[in-house]
Amino acid sequence: MRMAIEEAKKASLIGEVPIGAVLVKDNKIVSSAHNMPIKLNDPSAHAEINVLRDAGEKIGNYRLNECNLYVTLEPCLMCFGACIHARINNLIYASDDPKSGVITSNLNLVDETFLNHKISITKGVLSEESSQLLKAFFREKRVKN
């Protein structure tokens, strides 16, 4: 999770919302990424999507079985759907997202029976550090505007 937080800091430095993600397989980092929708003019360029795309290329398969995804913020609907499609084993996230999180904050998609893959969820890992990054980012944005 510390590496995901470092990725989040990279996002903040380029004016993106500070969210970072790291994908691990067999205790080895496969890929790390951060938010880049503004830079790439791509609404899907969330940290989770970026790390899944890169990992899929590196592994040579979109199915990322036996992989663990660490992310600094509870995933949105799009990102959680991509995690299911990629067959991620474990999703570990730092902070809840009361605006668009779909794991526990707004929806509880993890327990939905219609999903064809179940992901093990762990939340709250380095939550305070992740929350502080987000708060500082938006506080600075408000001051600039």
Domains recognised in the chain with CATH numbers? 2-127 (3.40.140.10)
Q: Which residues are catalytic?
A: 48
Q: How confident is the model at residue 106 (pLDDT cuts 50, 70, 90)?
A: confident
| pTM metric for this prediction | 0.93
How does pLDDT run across 76-99, given as a tens digit for each residue?
Answer: 999 999 999 999 999 999 999 999
Residue of 127, 99, 141 lying closest to 12 (CA atoms): 141
DSSP 46-78: -HHHHHHHHHHHHHTSS--TTEEEEEEE---HH
Rounded to whole angstroms, the maximal C-alpha distance in the chain is: 45
Q: Write the pLDDT tens digit of every residue in 26-37.
A: 999 999 999 999
**Alpha carbon distance 74, 54 (integer Å):** 20
Lowest-confidence range among 1-10, 79-88, 98-107? 98-107
Please say whether the beta carbons of 119 and 90 come within 8 A: yes
